[in-house]
Amino acid sequence: MNRQEILISRGTDLAVQHSHARNAGTELRLDRFEDIAVNRSATERRAATLTTRRTVKKDYQAAWLVKAITCIDLTTLAGDDTAGRVRRLCAKAKRPIRDDIVEALGLADENITTGAVCVYPTMVQHAVKALQGTAIPVASVATGFPAGLTPLPQRLSEIRYAVDEGAAEIDIVVTREHVLTQNWQALYDEISQMREACGDAHLKAILATGDLNTLRNVYRASMVAMQAGADFIKTSTGKEEVNATLPVSLIMLRALRDYGEHTGHRVGFKPAGGMKTAKDAMNWLILMKEELGLPWMQPDLFRLGASSMLGDIERQLEHYVTGRYAASSRHALA
């Protein structure tokens, strides 16, 4: 296979690189989002036709699936997490595809890893130690994940704790009440303080879009988060009844595009929750390609919060190189 096809214009170093300036944020500008109108039926129609108009097959499909792996935030957020489970997850992050499949793809000399490893704050030190010597960043959820309803001083302390433990990225949860009551100043102030608490760590703002009721609210919350300095906007915690969907993602990407036109800053995007298959990965990559283009198909601007899809992607890649489907148990996550 042509190696350039696999890398999809990324270059040979598959470690996460941030080739653009961080989002500095702006003052709160209500005029840029408060009166926005969203046509739900047109949004749903656009999202539904995106994945039917573009077909990616054979070599190119394999290339896109490898691309998806490099954008995955490999995650464990369970109440029974242990240091051992985190170490196993990190081992999978460093070698997400079986060696024989990598060799068959012609990528044995490439450093293919997942985009990051994401854990709870108390597990950060174990992940940092396990990933020492690699370029894989450790991300930590914080701010009372997943509800985000603990007192603000406590949420800020949790961010600082995770950063002190070595987290390079912080996935914060916004207060949904501020969105539902349209208290944009409170939302802006909250995220601004969280951004400051992150220091040099990148901030990913989880909007919990399944709780926001309308696509208009999704757009507004996206804009406020970016104006407050978020480096990424993220759909969901994965714990809501409705998590990442293509229509919601489309609206968030339009907000990203509008913010970039206003400020010149590139902000990343992370769909999370509900995505389990290689086909799901392809659908979101197609969305990124059609709406924002190749720069947003790189792990410094695009992440997939869906660890369970890695096993299916690896299984599809094995089918590509052997012509046979393996049992799912041959591709355990960790």
**Does residue 234 have an active-site annotation?**
yes
Confidence bin at 104 (pLDDT 50/70/90): very high
- Per-residue pLDDT of 230-281, as tens digits, reads 999 999 999 899 999 999 999 999 999 999 999 999 999 999 998 999 999 9
- Per-residue pLDDT of 309-320, as tens digits, reads 999 999 999 999
Amino acid symbol at 103: E
What residues does 138 pair with on adjacent strands? 117
Q: Could you write out the three-class secondary structure of 134-195?
A: CCCCEEEECCCCCCCCCCHHHHHHHHHHHHHHCCCEEEEECCHHHHHCCCHHHHHHHHHHHH
Reference 187, options 11, 316, 56, 28; nearest CA is 28
Catalytic residue among 204, 270, 280, 312: 270
Q: Is 170 in contact with 201 (CB distance < 8 Å)?
A: yes
* pLDDT: which is higher, 16 or 71: 71
Count of residues in the chain: 334
**Residue 10 falls inside a structural domain:** no
CATH number of 279's domain: 3.20.20.70
Distance (Å, rounded) from C-alpha 36 to C-alpha 33?
5
**Residue 89 falls inside a structural domain:** yes
Tokens representing residue 135 in the block: 């370029």
- Per-residue pLDDT of 191-206, as tens digits, reads 999 999 999 999 999 9
Tokens representing residue 98 in the block: 């079986």
**Residue 29 falls inside a structural domain:** no
Q: Is 13 in contact with 112 (CB distance < 8 Å)?
A: no
Confidence bin at 15 (pLDDT 50/70/90): very low
Q: Is 89 in contact with 76 (CB distance < 8 Å)?
A: yes
**Residue 26 falls inside a structural domain:** no
Q: How many CB atoms lie within 10 A of CB 15?
A: 14
**Residue 16 falls inside a structural domain:** no
Confidence bin at 326 (pLDDT 50/70/90): confident
Q: Could you write out the three-class secondary structure of 34-80?
A: CCCCCCHHHHHHHHHHHHHHCCCCHHHHHHHHHHHHHCEEEECCCCC
**Residue 19 falls inside a structural domain:** no
Rounded to the nearest 10 degrees, the angle between the axes of helix 278-291 and helix 246-263 is 30
**Residue 143 falls inside a structural domain:** yes
Cα radius of gyration rounded to whole Å, the chain: 19
Amino acid symbol at 132: Q
The fraction of the chain above a pLDDT of 70, given in percent, is 93
What local confidence, expressed as pLDDT, does residue 10 receive? 40
Amino acid symbol at 164: D
Give yes or no for residue 293 having a pLDDT over 70. yes
**Does residue 57 have an active-site annotation?**
no
Give yes or no for residue 19 having a pLDDT over 70. no
**Residue 61 falls inside a structural domain:** yes
Q: Please state the domain count of the chain.
A: 1
Give yes or no for residue 3 having a pLDDT over 50. no
Reference 144, options 120, 114, 179, 168; nearest CA is 120
Q: How many CB atoms lie within 10 A of CB 24?
A: 10
- Per-residue pLDDT of 47-69, as tens digits, reads 999 888 877 888 999 999 999 99
- Give SS3 for 118: strand
Distance (Å, rounded) from C-alpha 227 to C-alpha 28?
6
Catalytic residue among 171, 211, 231, 300: 171
Reference 80, options 137, 123, 141, 117; nearest CA is 123
Distance (Å, rounded) from C-alpha 88 to C-alpha 85?
5
Reference 62, options 89, 97, 111, 23; nearest CA is 97
**Does residue 276 have an active-site annotation?**
no
Q: Is 77 in contact with 35 (CB distance < 8 Å)?
A: no
Distance (Å, rounded) from C-alpha 45 to C-alpha 295?
25
Catalytic residue among 73, 204, 234, 280: 234
Residue 62 domain boundaries: 39-331
Give yes or no for residue 14 having a pLDDT over 60. no
Confidence bin at 172 (pLDDT 50/70/90): very high
